[in-house]
Structure 1
Amino acid sequence: MGDDKDTEYLPRDLGYWEENFFHEMRVRREAMGLSQTEFAKMLTDYPDNTGTKFYQATIQRIESGERPVKLFEAVWIAALLNSSVHEMINGYSIEFAYEELVSHIGPDAFDHELERAEMLHGPGRIVSELIDQYKAAVAATSGAQADENLLRVAEAIVELDKVARVGRVVYRQELKKAAAACAALERTYPRSIRGDVGDDSEA
């Protein structure tokens, strides 16, 4: 049990902010090359910590959403990960933003969006917001490079959305074509976070 006794009070369904925070915590910790054990020690030794102990199991349970995080803990975690609570709950990491953008312009993503959208520009508005989030995440991540091919397709979808004055069926066909083009792209972003952007020796 120990310091994890408050697990029973965790809501059954995590909210958007909580999911983002736990995801960001894991992504940022791993990006810094820290193990869960190492990060637990950093939290235990945090200057403002006057007695709260953290263990590897504590970090594992937090990142998996099994253990809630107190507000002061969230502040410490964000500070140690060179971030802020606001940034982490909004999911600004480059990996998170990239995956969201990819998922929303994949060939299957728009069927559901188009079916429930009341206006033609619904999907395009979503993609536009994700483009902004992705660019902000890239700008905030030292040494990271954007997937320019992905952005080109995403922005083409937004432009198509803006000028769409055709029937819904034609619009759907054009949107699906653009989404299929996205799916066919070679992903350059994962190489950028490995730090080997300049290495073109392998496909």
Structure 2
Amino acid sequence: MMKTRFLFLYLIYLLLIGCGNPDQSFIIQGTLPSARYDGEWIYLVPMENPQGRVDSVKIADATFSFKGTGEEMRVLRLRHILRLRIQELLVVTEPGTILVKADSIGSVTGTPQNEALQSWKEDREKKQTAYQFIRKGLRTAVGTDSLRLVQQGDTLRIQEQERNFLFLQKQGNNTLGKFMQKMLRNSLTEDQRKKLDESLQ
């Protein structure tokens, strides 16, 4: 009886080990704007580990999908010439279903870190449009008009610093937070960097 119980528990243990933890797996479900890309390969490339594994799948019916485990920053890209039409996209391969729209301006949503990154990206794109408007205006503006545009630019920079600070503070030391700290830390004021360091301890 004891031997039978031990064998039963051992079989359950092996079953659990073999199955792994499905909660730690990710699924990427992607779409493209048309079937013209069918037959092309799309690549899921490690962002910070050049020796890491590169996954690839063939596009069919303007869709693609990846499945895997392991949370890290990766980038989705097509072959070089097609990147002129289809934007490379940063992806956090965190557990869950990640929804990708690959296009000239793409999007990655569906999981918390990817949603946060998409929100930050959209906000940055709006600010870049505003910066372009100001730079264009400064080419011909004079007097008070020029001063007003300079003040608008200063206000935008302050807003962007605050947005970056709050973004990094909220993400903390998760995969996205650590990656974006390398990109955004220098954009912060000295006081914001100090507060960020204190919040990350």
Do these two structures clear the TM 0.5 threshold for a shared fold by scoring above it? no
Q: Which has the larger radius of gyration?
A: 2
Larger RCO, structures 1/2 (Cα 8 Å, 6+ apart): 1
TM-score by length of 2: 0.32
From the two aligned structures, give the one with the greater helix fraction.
1
From the two aligned structures, give the one with the greater strand fraction.
2
